[in-house]
Amino acid sequence: MNISRCRIIAVGKVRKAWVQEGVELYLKRLPGLTVVELKDSSREKEAEAIRAALRSDELPVMLMEQGDTLASVPFATRLDQFGNERLAFVIGGADGLTDELKAAARWQLSLSPMTFPHELARLLLLEQLFRAQAILQGSPYHRA
């Protein structure tokens, strides 16, 4: 899996400086990975904006409570199985994703059974993408 073929589509802005610092750190470590920020609004308007932001050649990965929960190594393995496909990781707003978006997902992913603010979810996802890349490349960053 080439992480640079991934994008994150996220509803809402990162407002906390310490979260923004972490986001910037991982974006530097993951060249080519981009984040598209969408304005928070009603679930329906957010869904419309998400659909508009998704490219036709991207497979949508919806982050949601009910999604698959994976440890880091199985997450890396699952990413690797997508090969050269383009992935768009979608983080909804405070009210979550519409049923229509959930149904359109190629993969439903949960970062944890716990609920996180969207800002923190973005940072956690970036760290896990970096960790997955390190695992797949045999880097010492990930220690089992």
What CATH code is carried by the domain that includes residue 82? 3.40.1280.10
- Does 144 reside within a domain? no
- pTM equals 0.94
- Does 108 reside within a domain? yes
- The pLDDT assigned to 121 comes to 95
Domains: count for the chain: 1
- Does 143 reside within a domain? no
Which domain does 68 fall in, by range? 3-137
- Does 122 reside within a domain? yes
Specify whether the CB–CB gap between 72 and 128 falls below 8 A.
yes
- Does 91 reside within a domain? yes
- The pLDDT assigned to 123 comes to 97
- The pLDDT assigned to 144 comes to 64
- Does 103 reside within a domain? yes
Per residue of the chain (144 residues), give pLDDT as tens: 788 799 999 999 999 999 999 999 999 999 999 999 999 999 999 999 999 999 999 999 999 989 999 999 999 999 999 999 999 999 999 899 999 999 999 999 999 998 888 899 999 999 999 999 999 999 888 876
Specify whether the CB–CB gap between 34 and 4 falls below 8 A.
no
- Does 142 reside within a domain? no
